[in-house]
Amino acid sequence: MFSKKWFDDLEFKLRDMGLDSDDKSFDEIRENLANPKKLSDIDFVNTVSYVILAGGFSQKTAKKIHRIIMEKMVENPSVDDLLKIFNNKNKINAIVKIWNNRVNYCNDFYQIKDTGEKIKYLQTLPHIGKITANHLARNLGVNVVKYDIWIQRLGVLYGGNSVLYKKIDNGNLNPEIKKLCDNMFEHLRIETNLPIGYIDVVLWKASQNGLIKELKQWM
């Protein structure tokens, strides 16, 4: 495990299964991490809104809802109109606020140069938490990883420390587990010569779809 061949096999299986995407395709994610582009305010709010909607839903469902809502936003709909499409008031209110302030949010983000400060800024956006901020940053072209529960499990597996399994928490990242995850990503970065953000999305998708059988011992 955790070799270039292992990673390449996971990536190949995901592509073969048609699962090579997050909000964008694997190839688009990889290119955007290697050569990040400044998004327009519309593309920026589209990216933020997808991450808000994706939590707790399958990618297929999230993409469908996201497309319908974003098409509706140009009509300046009421919150009630949007709730008829997706009945989650907190998420809808967050999307509306970001849409209405998209120019300022977009400009403020791109004025920040430091990666850590970018992530801190994204955490101030409506309905964006610590873990989703990393997810969003990666989708915006920042080469970071999302320490979600799947990646934490992989980090524990990489470190071979079963005691830490009980400390896995999607809302409160344990420093020891983060260290193991960071070591895993650095190892795979050297093995594959790929951006850690791209490695992250492949491992996340492979774990989520049951392609890493070894994870079962930690679940």
Mean pLDDT of the chain: 93
| 41-139: CATH topology | Endonuclease III; domain 1 (1.10.340)
Q: How far apart are CA 123 and CA 94, in angstroms?
A: 13
What is the domain partition of the chain in residue ranges? 4-33+146-218, 41-139
What DSSP character marks residue 171? T
What is the pLDDT, as a whole number, of residue 217? 66
Q: What would the two tokens of residue 160 be? A: 């071979």
pLDDT 10s digits, 192-218: 999 999 999 999 999 999 999 888 765
pLDDT 10s digits, 43-86: 999 999 999 988 777 778 888 999 999 999 999 999 999 999 99
pLDDT 10s digits, 95-107: 999 999 999 999 9
DSSP string for residues in 189-215: HHHH---HHHHHHHHHHHHHTT--GGG
**CB neighbour burial string for 65-82, b if at least 16 within 10 angstroms, e if fewer:** bbeebbeebeeebeeeeb
Which residues have a Cβ under 8 Å from the Cβ of 139 and sit 6 or more positions away? 22, 23, 24, 29, 47, 50, 51
Q: How far apart are CA 209 and CA 189, in angstroms?
A: 22
**CB neighbour burial string for 139-153, b if at least 16 within 10 angstroms, e if fewer:** bbbbbbbbbbbbbbb
Angle at 179 between CA 177 and CA 180, to 5 degrees: 65
What does pTM read for this prediction? 0.86
- Calculate the dihedral angle through the C-alpha atoms of 208, 211, 214, 216, rounding to the nearest 10 degrees: 50
